Amino acid sequence: MIRLLMRDLILALRAGGGFGLGLGFFLILVTLVPFGVGPNSERLAAIAPGVLWVGALLACLLSLDRIFALDYEDGSLDLLATAPVPLEGLVAMKALAHWITTGLPLVIAAPLLGVLLHLDMAAYKWLIITLLIGTPALSFIGAFGAAITVGLKRGGLLMSLLVLPLYIPTLIFGAEVVRRGAQGFEVTTPLLMQGGITAGAIALLPFAAAAAIRISLR
């Protein structure tokens, strides 16, 4: 399992598709928003939680097709499926590798980019916390969507249509926690809901993704 994780991390860093693409898109989106809505600091501060979370969501979405597609094309996925280790564990390691190369850089960059949107100082702590809790769910949900469409030609659009509705609860609760934190309100309920979504995704979706891969390889 650890060797598979290291292999995916090395491939992602060499190719640059996950790390560079997602982070670059996140930077471009946040940089362009002030040009689109105007330089009013109060307006930017009001929309900053939603913009940062939408940017993180879309940045994660960009590299989802790389989770299984490359291994499927070169035949590595067939070997992994027949390896003497649980396929569910392999799926979990690939989702974890996606989070390390895509989600974690977004967590680190988000507070820096929040300055461009005049994010309230009280919200920075909650932005980091919600991204740390929520972005793993994006990777595991994305791995499930990638597993369903792995054997399909041009399955990227279909994967996006499948994954985006599942992303919405994480987006809603994440942005709500940041918004409430900026205003000094109670954040326990949406934070627990977001944590529950992430825990459920990590616990259940590797099994669903493994089943989808087995069907695709038949």
Per-residue pLDDT, 216: 79
Per-residue pLDDT, 82: 76
Q: With residue 182 as reference, give the H or E element that holds it.
A: helix 156-183
Whole-number Å distance between alpha carbons of 193 and 187: 10
Per-residue pLDDT, 15: 61
Contacts for 41 with CB less than 8 Å, ≥ 6 apart: 118
What single letter denotes the amino acid at residue 212? A
Contacts for 124 with CB less than 8 Å, ≥ 6 apart: 111, 114
Per-residue pLDDT, 78: 75
Decide: 130 and 174 in contact? Cβ < 8 Å: yes
Per-residue pLDDT, 185: 92
Could you tell me the mean pLDDT of each successive run of 10 residues in the chain, 218 residues long?
72 63 89 88 91 93 81 75 81 90 91 91 94 96 90 76 93 96 92 97 94 83
Per-residue pLDDT, 84: 76
Per-residue pLDDT, 62: 86
What angle do the packed helices 104-114 and 124-148 form, to 10 degrees?
140
Per-residue pLDDT, 22: 84
Per-residue pLDDT, 132: 96
